[in-house]
A and B are shown apart, each in its own frame.
Chain A
Amino acid sequence: MQELIRFLVGGVVVSGFAAISECFRPKSFAGLFGAAPSIALATLGLTVVHSGKMFAAVEARSMIFGAAAFVVYACLCSRVLMGKRLSALVVTVMLLPVWFGVSFGLMFLFRLFLSAGGGA
C-alpha cells in the first residue's frame, strides 16, 4: 500500500513539474524544472512519517552528492548534445553511468573523510 501511495505521489509531483516546465519559454528557463526536487518532494514527506526526521535528514545529506553528480551529468549532456551527432535519448541514457560514478564516488570520499575523524 505504501509503495502504491509513493507511486501515485511521485507520478503526480513529477508530472506537475513537467507541466510547469512546458508552460515556460525560453527553453533554458524551462530546463530549470528538469532538475526540480520532484522525487525528493514526493519521498521526503512519506519518509518523515514512516521512518522519522533523522532518517530523512541523512537521506538529504546524501542527496547533496546526488545533486553534485547531476550537475556534472547535465553539463556533459548539454555539451555532447550541442555536437548534434547523437539523439537526446542516446546521449542522456549513455551518460547515466557518469551520474552513478560521481555520486557514489563522492559518497565514498565522504565516508573516508568521516572514518578518518573529519566529522568529529
Chain B
Amino acid sequence: MRVEGKLSHLKGVKWHEWAVRFVFGGACTVAAGLIAKHWGPVVGGLFLAFPAIFPAGASLIEQHEIEHKKRIGVDGTARGRAAASVDAAGASLACFGLVGFALVVWKGLPGHNAVCVIAGATAVWMAVSVALWVVRKSRWMHRRKKG
C-alpha cells in the first residue's frame, strides 16, 4: 500500500474544524501546564500524553465519511465508524512512538541541549511510528495474499 501526501486534501476541512482543533489543543496545553504547576511534574507529565484532541479528531473523520457517502445517496454511518476505527488503530501504533519520545527526553534532557533533544525525540517518535505501521501493513497484506 502506497502512502500518498497531498496538500489538496486540506481543502475539504471547514474553518470551524480548524477552530475546534486550535481551541482544544490550546486549552489542553494550558491545562497540562497548570496541572504540572499545581500537582508537580510527576502528575503533570502524564498529561503530556493525554488524548485530548483524539475524540474531536475521530468525530470529524466519522462526519467527513458520513457526508461523503451522503453526497452519493448512501448511509455512511457504518463506514464513518469504520474510518474512525482505522484512524484509532493508526494512533495506537504512534503511541509506541510517543513512549520513545518520552524516553529520549527523560534521558537526554538533563545533560544535553534542549532543542537538540526535543528535535531528536520527535525524530524517534516518527521513526518508531512509521516503522510499526510498515510492519503491520506488510503482515496484513501477507495474510490477505495467503487467504
A residues with a Cβ closer than 8 A to B are 2-3, 6-15, 18-19, 21-48, 51, 53-71, 73-75, 77-79, 81-82, 84, 86-89, 91-93, 96, 99, 103-104, 107, 111
In angstroms, Cα B66 to Cα A87, docked, is: 11
Taking CB atoms, residues of chain B closer than 8 Å to A89 are 55, 58-59, 62
Taking CB atoms, residues of chain B closer than 8 Å to A99 are 50-51
Taking CB atoms, residues of chain B closer than 8 Å to A54 are 110
B41 to chain A, nearest CB (A): 4
Residue pair B13, A22 in contact (C-beta under 8 Å) = yes
Residue pair A71, B90 in contact (C-beta under 8 Å) = no
B137 within 8 A of A: yes
In angstroms, Cα B117 to Cα A57, docked, is: 11
B141 within 8 A of A: no
Residue pair B98, A14 in contact (C-beta under 8 Å) = no
Mask of B52-82 contacts with A, CB within 8 angstroms, 1/0: 1111011101100000000000000110111
Residue pair B10, A23 in contact (C-beta under 8 Å) = yes
With beta carbons under 8 angstroms apart, the residue of A28, A70, A111 that contacts B98 is: A70
Taking CB atoms, residues of chain A closer than 8 Å to B109 are 48, 53, 56-57, 60
Q: Which residue of B lies closest to A24 (CB)?
A: B5
Contact-residue size bin, chain B (C-beta under 8 Å from the other chain):
35 or more
Taking CB atoms, residues of chain B closer than 8 Å to A23 are 5-7, 9-10
Q: How many A-B residue pairs have CB under 8 A?
A: 328
Residue pair B118, A41 in contact (C-beta under 8 Å) = yes
Residue pair A8, B26 in contact (C-beta under 8 Å) = yes
B115 to chain A, nearest CB (A): 8
Mask of B1-37 contacts with A, CB within 8 angstroms, 1/0: 1011111011011000010011111111110111010
Residue pair B53, A14 in contact (C-beta under 8 Å) = yes
Residue pair A68, B105 in contact (C-beta under 8 Å) = no
In angstroms, Cα B132 to Cα A71, docked, is: 13
Q: Which residue of A lies closest to B96 (CB)?
A: A71
Q: Which residue of B lies closest to A103 (CB)?
A: B46
B93-116 CB contacts (< 8 Å) to partner A: 93-99, 101-103, 105-106, 109-110, 114-115
Known: A56-B105, A67-B49. A10 touches B87 (CB 8 A): no
With beta carbons under 8 angstroms apart, the residue of B32, B51, B91, B101 that contacts A32 is: B91
